[in-house]
Structure 1
Amino acid sequence: MIAAIRRRLGRNAPAGGGDAGAPSPVPPASGAEDAYEAASQWRLMWWKFRKHKLAMIAVPVLLLLYLTAVFCDFLTPTVPTARFTEYKNAPPQQIRFVDPETGFSLRPFVYDLKQEMDRETFRRTFADDTTRKHPIRFFAQGEPYKLLGLVPTNVHLFGLEDPNAPLLLMGSDSLGRDLFTRILYGARISLSFGLLGIALTLVLGLVIGGISGYMGGAVDTFIQRVIDLLVCIPTIPLWMALAAALPRSWTPLETYFGMILIFSVIDWTGLARVVRGKVLSLREEDFTLAARLGGASDMRIIRKHLLPSFSSYIIVSTTMAIPSTILGETALSFLGIGLQPPVVSWGVLLQDAQNLQTLAHQPWLLWPAAFVIVTVLMFNFLGDGLRDAADPYK
C-alpha cells in the first residue's frame, strides 16, 4: 500500500517546497524521489490529506467547535439557567455600530427590547427601544461560574454594562433564557457524546472483530450470527426502545452514560465486520507466523501486529461514525426519550421547535439545528479527506 501511495504522489507532485515548520505536501525538487521513498506511511497520508480542500477547512472549524464547548462558560454572556422573565420568546438583538444621535462608534451596542401587543391577533411582540442603549463590554462581569469546573469567577468574554439587561444574540426561549448561551453549553454535551460513544464503539469493534477473524471456527460463527441479529433490527426503533427502558429515577449523568452505552452496543457491528475481514487476510502472512513462532500470545498478535496494519482505515471509520452518533442523540432527545432537561444538549433545545405554530413566530429556535448540520458536514468532509489520504489507489 505504501509503495502505491508513493508512486501516486510521485507522478502528481510538482517540484517546490512546503511551509516552514510543517511537513511539506511537495518535497524539494532535489532528491524528490528519494524523499518519497524514505517517507513513512503517515507522512505520505499527510501530504495527500493537505490536497483535500474541504478537509482542510473542516479541521479548524471542528477545533473551533470543540474549543467553544470546552470554554463555553467563559465565552457566553450569562449562564444557561439565567431567566429574563420580561423577555420570553424575544427575537435576536442586532449588534450596532451606528446611532442616529451620536453617529458611528467603534464600540458596539444593542438597543433594549420593549413589548408591544398586536391589537388584531393579541400576540405579544418585541420592538427595539431606541431610547435605551446598552454598550457591549469585553471581559464583563456577570453571573458567577466555575471555569472548567475548577476556578470560580464571574468574568465573561463579553456582556452588557447593565447586568440586569439581557444580551440575546440568538433570541430567547419560552422561559426567557438566552438561546446563544444554551447552544454553546449544549455543544459540550452533544460533541462529547459523539467522542465518548465512538470511543466505546471502537473498542468493542476492534476487540470482537479481531477475535472473530483471528480465532475463526465456532467462535467466528457465533460472533457473526450475533452481528447478523443486531444488524437485522431497525436501528432507530431499537434506540428508542432501549432509551425508553432507562429508569427515570436515574440522574442526568447516569442517563448520559446509559445512552452512550446504548449507542456503542448497537453501532460496533459494522466496524467489527470490517476488522474481521482485514484480520482474515493478514493472519496467514509471514509476519503473523513469525510472531506466533516467537511465542507471542493471540491477543498480543492482534494488538501489536494485525490492528496497526490497517490503522489508517480505523481512523477513517471512526471519523465517519461520529456524526451518526451525534445525530442519534439529537434525534432521541428531540423526541423526548433521550436526554431530558435540565440537561442542555442540541437535541433537548430542539424540543421547543416541535410546534409548527411556535416556529412560525419564533424561527430562531431552530438555531441548534444549524449547529448540528455544520458539525455533521465538517466531520463528513474530514472523513472524506482521511479516506482519500489512506487510499493507495486514489
Structure 2
Amino acid sequence: MATSEPLGLAQTPTQGPGTGVSGRGTRGEIHSASQSRLVWRAFRRHRLAMIAAGVTLVLYFIALFVEFLAPFSVAKFDERYPYAPPQRLHIIDTSGGNWDLGLYVKGYKKSLDPETLELTYTVDEAKKIPVRLFDRGEEYKLWGLIPSDIHLLGPVDNREPIYLLGSDRNGRDLLSRLIYGTRVSMTIGLIGVTMAFVLGIVLGGISGYFGGKIDTVIQRLVEFFMSIPTLPLWLGLAAAVPAGWGPLQRYFAITVILATFAWTDLARVTRGRFMSLREEEFISSAHLDGNRPRRLIFRHMLPSFTSHLIASLTLSIPGMILAETALSFLGLGLQAPVVSWGVLLQEAQNIRVVATAPWLMLPGVAVVVAVLALNFVGDGLRDAADPYKR
C-alpha cells in the first residue's frame, strides 16, 4: 500500500537548463533574467555589433584622455616642416648589422625646387630620431584638473620632428590634432542627441498621452519644424552665430542648432506609440490601480518600446557627427582654435592637398569609422531589444 506524502512536501522534479526551475537541490526556486540581461545576451550574439561596440569604446577612450594620448598640443607647430609626410615608427634597428630594440623614426631631407619653389621631402636614412613611451613633454591639465607632462609617445629630443601621420601647412602634427578632434566630434553627438532625445520623448509623450488641443498644438509645431529645409537652415543659423563668441560658446551654439531640428521624428513616433498603448488593457489596469500619469508613462508605456528608443538614440549620434562635420567643413560650424574632424577637413578643400598631401584627408576616415561603428551598434541594440526576435 503506497504511503502518501504530506501536503507541500512533495519533491519538485529536477528540470534541465532553460526551464526556469533550479536543478541544484533548491526546491521551488524560480530563476528569471532581467530585461537588461536578456538584451545583453542577445547583443553578444551579434558579432558585428560587438566589434563596432569595441571601436566605439576606443573612440570615447581617446576622447577622454586626449591630452595624454596626443604627442603634442594642438597649438605646437614647427615652421620648418610644412606638409611633412608621415614617418614610419621603427621598433628594431638593423642598420648596424645588429638587432637593437628601441622606438625611433628617421629624419627628413628637404630640397627646394628653384623654379616652382616646391618643397620635397625624402627619408634621411642616416638620421635616427629616438622615440619613447611615457615621454615627458609639454605640460597640460588632464580634464582641466590634473597637471601633468607625461605623453603616451613622444621624441626624446622635443626639438626633433616626429610626424607619424604627417603635418599640415603650419607644421602642426596631424596625429595630435586628430586625437584632439575626436573629443569635440564625438561629444557634440552625445550632447546634441541627449537634448533632442529629451525633447522628442517629452513632447511626443505629452502629445500622445493627453491628446486633444495639446496634441494639436504640439503636432503643428512638429510639422512646422519638419517643413523647413534642414541644411539651408543649419547654414543660416550657424552663420548668424556672432563672430565674437569664444570657442566654448560657439560649441554649445552649434550643439543647440543641431538638436533643435533632430527631435521631430522621435516625437511623432513616440506620440503614435502612446496613442496606441493608452488603449491597451495593461495600461487601463494600471490606471484603475491608482497609478499617476508619470508612473504610467515611465513605468509602463516607455519600456514597451525600448527597442525603438535605443535604436533612435544610437542611430542619431552619427547624424549629429556628420552634421557638425559638414558645417565645420563649410566654415560655418566650429572654427579654429577649436579642433574637430570637420575643422581639420577644411585643409582638404584644395587640389594641392589631394595631390601632394593626401594624409590631411585622414579625418574623413575617422568620420567614416565612427559613423559606421555607431550605426552597427544601433542595429545590434535594436535587434537585441526586440522581444519578437529572441
Q: TM-score if structure 2 supplies the norm length?
A: 0.89
Which portions of structure 1, spanning 4 or more consecutive aligned residues, are displaced by more than 6 angstroms? none
| Whole-Å separation in 2 of the counterparts to 1:214 and 1:102 | 78
Counterparts of 1:37 and 1:316 in 2: how far apart (Å)? 29
Contact 2:82 2:170 in 1 (8 A): yes
- Structure 2 CA distance for aligned equivalents of residues 58 and 223 of structure 1: 37
Partner of 1:344: 339
> Per-residue deviation at 1:364?
0.5
Counterpart CA distance in 2 for 1:183 and 1:241 is 28
Deviations 1:175-195 (A, max 9, x none): 111000000000010000010
Identify which of 349, 357, 376 aligns with 2:371.
376
In the other structure, the counterpart of 1:60 is: 54
Identity, % of aligned positions: 50
- The reply to whether residue 32 of structure 1 matches residue 18 of structure 2 is yes
* 1: CA distance, partners of 2:233 / 2:151: 42
Superposition CA RMSD, Å: 1.9
1:45 is the counterpart of 2:39: yes
Structure 2 CA distance, aligned partners of 1:105 and 1:210? 66
Give 1:300 shift: 4.0
Other structure's SS at 1:267 match: coil
Corresponding residue number in structure 2 for 1:161: 156
Aligned with 2:313 (options 280, 297, 318): 318
Q: What is the match of residue 222 of structure 2?
A: 227
For residue 232 of structure 2, what is the aligned residue in structure 1? 237
Q: TM-score, with normalisation over the residues of structure 1?
A: 0.88
Letter aligned with residue 249 of structure 2: E
Letter in 2 for 1:195: L
1:120, CA displacement in angstroms? 6.2
Give ranges in structure 1 of 5+ residues lacking alignment: 1-28
Residue in 2 that maps onto 1:9: none
Q: Deviations over 1:361-383 (max 9, x none)?
A: 10000011111100001001101
Structure 1 equivalent of residue 12 of structure 2? none
Query: Which structure would you say has the larger Rg?
Result: 2
Higher mean Cα deviation, 278-287 or 119-128? 119-128
Alignment of 1:1-394 (within 5 A): 30-34=16-20, 38-96=32-90, 97-118=92-113, 121-394=116-389
SS in 2 for 1:34: coil
* Counterpart Cα distance in 1 of 2:252 and 2:220: 27
Describe the SS at the equivalent of 2:99. Answer: strand
* Matched residue SS, 2:134: strand
Q: 2:25 maps to which residue?
A: none
Amino acid at match of 1:231: M
Q: Is the helix fraction higher in 1 or 2?
A: 1
Question: How far apart, in 2, do the equivalents of 1:305 and 1:52 lie?
Answer: 28
Whether the aligned pair in 1 keeps the contact of 2:306 and 2:385 (CA below 8 Å) is no
Unaligned residue ranges in structure 2 (runs of 5+): 1-14, 22-29
Kindly provide the CA deviation profile for residues 15-38 of structure 1, in whole angstroms up to 9, marking residues without a partner as x: xxxxxxxxxxxxxx9322327983
Count, aligned residues: 366
Inter-partner Cα distance in structure 2 for 1:104 and 1:281: 72
SS of equivalent residue, structure 2 residue 263 = helix
> d(CA) in 2 for partners of 1:263 and 1:136?
42
Letter of the 1:67 partner, please give it. F
Q: Secondary structure at the match of 1:132?
A: strand
